[in-house]
């Protein structure tokens, strides 16, 4: 029987710069407050602003969002490394903050940045990790051997990891998190820095692991990864969940699905209104020269768009059509691109 994850109204406010436990480099300063000199604490960052999630046992769940959205902080709290300011986080039946050791037995964690033990060889890293979880020496050795092989690290197994490439370190980090066969696996940006081939290997391994009934929570800012791998996704931005569901549901929830972005010489309310009248167009947003159309079709609309823009007396500089995607969903909810 698998183990699920729940969070209720999870909040985290940092009153000093987030240290390593949050594992965040490009932390968003969007939520920063309190620069007024009278304030006692000049530094305050709202990293999480009421995150509630229910992740079912045996699910691959993705947290999708830009840098600084609160993904790593969520993982930090769920893995006992970050103290929540308020709210509740549970792994299975255990309250993560109050029952830390019980929770730690159930989880495996891959952090965003490799954090391998540089004083050891690849094999020793896996063996000692197994020992920390009380595995017997024969069992440790067997599992280490299997994982080294699965992650294609056998030839470098007895080398010190100091000289490993970024991709090899990342593979070893993931292998290490699997040694004790945790019920819940946390992967913070697992495919960052991996070449396409290794990324596919990783996806395959994640699916295999999930097929054994294990729950996986991964964060990513890569839409393809979320789309390809996750059963369900939560899109987070500025410490809040802005949309949640299966990739298909989420994509279907964008009005029209297709996004047609126009660059025009000079936009106007009249132009937006006329575009809105076109068949199949569900929503139009725009400012002076950028106009976004949500529609149920892409290419077939272009002729009508060109003539509408032409009729309104301005020039059409650029047209970009994108198919229904999570990127468009994010754009729809936040007005910003995920990659920004």
Partner 1 sequence: MNAKTFLAMLARDAHVARRNLWALLTQTMLQPLLFTFVFGRVMTGAGMMPASYKGMLVPGIMGMSMVMTGIQAVSMPLIAEFQFTREIEDRLLAPMRIEWLAVEKILAGMIQALVSGSVVMLAAWLVLGAGVGLNFHQPLLFGVVMLLVALFSASGGLMLGCSVGQTQIGLMFSLVLAPMIFFGCVYYPWSALSGFPILQRLVLLNPLVYASEGLRGTLAPQYPHISIAAVAGALAVFDAGLILGGLKKFYGKAVS
43 lies in the binding site for partner 1 (CB under 8 A):
no
Contact between 19 and partner 1 by CB under 8 A: the answer reads yes
Of the pair 116, 326, the CB lying nearest partner 1 is at 116
- From the list 105, 263, 302, 321, which residue makes contact with partner 1 (rule: CB under 8 A)? 105
Q: Which two tokens stand for residue 56?
A: 């079912």
**Cβ closest to partner 1, residue 125 vs residue 235:** 125
Q: Which CB sits closer to partner 1, 82 or 262?
A: 82
**Single residue of 3, 10, 63, 82 touching partner 1 by CB under 8 A:** 82
**Contact pick of 32, 133, 261, 296 for partner 1 (by CB under 8 A):** 133
Stretch that binds partner 1, among 103-111, 150-158, 196-204, 331-339 (CB under 8 A): 103-111
Over the chain, what HEC string results?
CCCCEEEEEEEEEECCCCCHHHCCCCCCCCCCCCCCCCCCCCCCEEEEEEEEEEECCCCEEEEECCCCCCHHHHHHHHCCCCCCCEEEEEECCEECCCCHHHHHHHEEEECCCCCCCCCCEHHHHHHHHHHHCCCCHHHHHHHHHHHHHHCCCHHHCCCEHHHCCHHHHHHHHHHHHHCCCCCEEEEECCCCCCCHHHHHHHHHHHHHHHHCCCEEEEEECCHHHHHHHCCEEEEEECCEEEEEECHHHHHHCCCCCEEEEEEECCCCHHHHHHHHCCCCEEEEEECCCEEEEEECCCHHHHHHHHHHHHHCCCCEEEEEEECCCHHHHHHHHHCCCCCC
Q: From the CB of 120, what's the least distance to partner 1, in Å?
A: 7
Q: How far apart are CA 154 and CA 141, in angstroms?
A: 13
Pairing of strands 60-64, 215-220: parallel
Task: Give the one residue of 39, 98, 132, 224 binding partner 1; rule: CB under 8 A.
Answer: 132
Q: For residues 255 and 269, give the distance between their C-alpha atoms in angstroms, rounded to a whole number.
A: 20
Q: How far is the CB of 171 from partner 1 (least distance, A)?
A: 15
**Is residue 258 a contact residue for partner 1 (CB under 8 A)?**
no
Question: In the bound complex, what is the minimum distance in angstroms from residue 78's beta carbon to partner 1?
Answer: 11
Among 129, 199, 214, 238, binds partner 1 (CB under 8 A): 129
In angstroms, what is the minimal distance from the CB of 54 to partner 1? 24
- Identify the residue among 51, 69, 96, 107 touching partner 1 (CB under 8 A): 107
# chain residues binding partner 1, by CB under 8 A: 35
Task: Check residue 41 for interaction with partner 1 (CB under 8 A).
Answer: no
Q: Which of residues 158-197 bind partner 1 (CB under 8 A)?
A: 176
Return the number of the residue (104 or 221) whose C-beta is nearest partner 1: 104
Residue 118 in the binding site for partner 1 (CB under 8 A):
yes
Task: Confirm or reject binding of residue 85 to partner 1 (CB under 8 A).
Answer: no
Q: Which residues bind partner 1 (CB under 8 A)?
A: 14, 18-22, 76, 79-83, 100-101, 104-105, 107, 109, 111, 113, 115-120, 124-125, 128-129, 131-134, 176
């Amino acid at each position: 029987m698998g183990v699920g994850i729940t969070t209720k109204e999870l909040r985290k406010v940092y009153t000093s710069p987030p240290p390593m436990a949050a594992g965040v480099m490009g932390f968003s300063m969007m939520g920063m407050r309190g620069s007024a000199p009278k304030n006692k604490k000049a530094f305050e960052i709202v990293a999480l602003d009421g995150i509630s999630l229910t992740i079912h046992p045996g699910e691959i769940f993705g947290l999708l969002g830009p840098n600084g959205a609160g993904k790593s902080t969520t993982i930090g709290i769920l893995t006992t490394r970050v103290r929540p300011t308020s709210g509740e986080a549970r792994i299975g039946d255990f309250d993560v903050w109050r029952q830390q050791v019980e929770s730690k037995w159930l989880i495996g964690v891959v952090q965003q940045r490799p954090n391998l033990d540089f004083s050891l060889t690849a094999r020793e890293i896996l063996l000692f990790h197994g020992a920390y979880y009380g595995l017997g020496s024969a069992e440790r050795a067997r599992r280490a051997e299997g994982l080294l092989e699965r992650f294609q690290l056998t030839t470098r197994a007895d080398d010190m990891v100091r000289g490993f490439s970024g991709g090899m370190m990342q593979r070893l980090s993931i292998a290490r998190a699997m040694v004790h066969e945790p019920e819940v696996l946390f992967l913070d940006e697992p495919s960052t820095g991996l070449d396409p081939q290794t990324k596919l290997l990783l996806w395959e391994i994640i699916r295999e692991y999930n097929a054994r009934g294990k729950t996986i929570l991964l964060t990513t800012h890569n839409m393809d990864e979320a789309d390809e791998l996750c059963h369900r996704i939560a899109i987070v931005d500025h410490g809040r969940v802005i949309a949640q569901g299966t990739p298909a549901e989420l994509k279907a929830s964008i009005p029209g699905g297709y996004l047609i972005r126009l660059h025009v010489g000079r936009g106007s309310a009249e132009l937006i209104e006329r575009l809105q009248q076109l068949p199949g167009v569900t929503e139009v947003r725009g400012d002076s020269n950028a106009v976004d159309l949500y529609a149920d079709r892409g290419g077939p609309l272009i002729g009508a768009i060109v003539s509408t823009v032409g009729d309104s007396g301005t020039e059409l500089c650029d047209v970009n059509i994108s198919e229904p995607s999570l990127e468009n969903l994010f754009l729809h909810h936040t007005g910003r691109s995920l990659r920004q």
